[in-house]
Copies of this chain bind each other. A is one copy, B any other.
Amino acid sequence: MTNTQVTLFQIDNYGPWTVTPEPRREVDLQTLQSRLYADLSQLVGNRGGYVFFTRFDNMVAVTNGLEDADLELIQESVRNRYPVTLSVATATGTTPAQALVDATELVQDHGSAQDKSRREVLAGRTIASEHRREDDVHIAHFDVVDATGKYTDELDAFETFTHIEQGYASLMRHLYTEYDGLAFFVGGDNVIATVPELTESEYRAAIEHVQADADVELQVGVSSDRTAHEAGMDAKHALEDCRARNTTVEFH
């Protein structure tokens, strides 16, 4: 079973803000976005969650372990330190995709992302502690087999980026359409997915699909736990096992 608690963070009315009264310097927007993401990483991550930068103005997080008060504090902390505010919506589901659908609707119900009067929605609910289980969160941590030897040291930086990007896009679509899983690029040659419980052969099929579709060879470490951090740390160890044993899929 999985019981993934997904939170959508959406910057309120961000698009219009970036061009009002005139377009703002791109360097400042990039700095603002990446620091906001870094702060959410710390705020969510130090409570056991994972945040993905996604589009930066809309960020998706796995927040099992965070309570309603934690999310409220995060919203307040951003308001206190940034020129923009955040809407925050949380939903839970046996598939991550369904949880995100529900979380997104909770925000959309309050108005458009570019609605001037919609500010700081705080919607949805976190899982009560008595309903939390040992395997609520399943994390699959993928990377590219010998990315440095095959790509970084051989191709130019944009071609390498393109290859990895295509492998990631293929994996993202496959996990989403086949299993309602959500995969995110997290830098380097790494993709982290929050998924329902999948079998080893399903992971093999995903990896073969990406190989055939995008000619990128992946390996994956998988684990489950009460929080994304705990499941993710075990998944990293499992991925180290792939490297040590020359295997493609490892569970921890």
Contact = CB atoms under 8 A, between A and B. Distances in A.
A153 B112 contact: yes
Contact of A232 (B26, B39, B113, B147): B26
Contacts of A55: 160-161, 164, 187-189
Size bracket, chain A contacts = 35 or more
Interface in A119-163: 147-149, 152-158, 160-162
Given A25-B233, A113-B153, A187-B33, A15 B148 contact: yes
B24 A80 contact: yes
Contact of A43 (B8, B10, B42): B42
A100 B34 contact: no
Contacts of A182: 158
**Which of A83, A161, A187 has the most chain B CB atoms inside 10 A of its CB?**
A187
A82 B80 contact: no
A201 to B, nearest CB: 25
Given A83-B83, A153-B108, A46 B43 contact: yes
* Number of copies of this kind of chain in the complex: 4
A186 B189 CA distance: 19
Nearest to A183: B158
Given A55-B188, A162-B173, A229 B27 contact: yes
A122 to B, nearest CB: 17
Contacts of A196: none
A76 interface: yes
Contact of A54 (B35, B155, B157): B157
A103 B79 CA distance: 32
A46 B14 CA distance: 23
Interface string A7-29: 01010001100110011111111
A161 B28 contact: no
A137 to B, nearest CB: 13
A65 interface: no
Interface of A: 8, 10, 14-15, 18-19, 22-35, 37-39, 41-46, 50-51, 53-58, 60, 73, 76-77, 79-83, 97, 100-101, 103-105, 108, 112-114, 147-149, 152-158, 160-162, 164-166, 169, 172-173, 176, 182, 186-189, 192, 229, 232-233, 236-237, 239-240
Given A34-B38, A56-B187, A166-B169, 14 more contacts: A8-B157, A25-B229, A26-B229, A27-B44, A29-B187, A33-B187, A38-B38, A42-B43, A55-B160, A57-B187, A58-B157, A60-B161, A100-B156, A112-B152
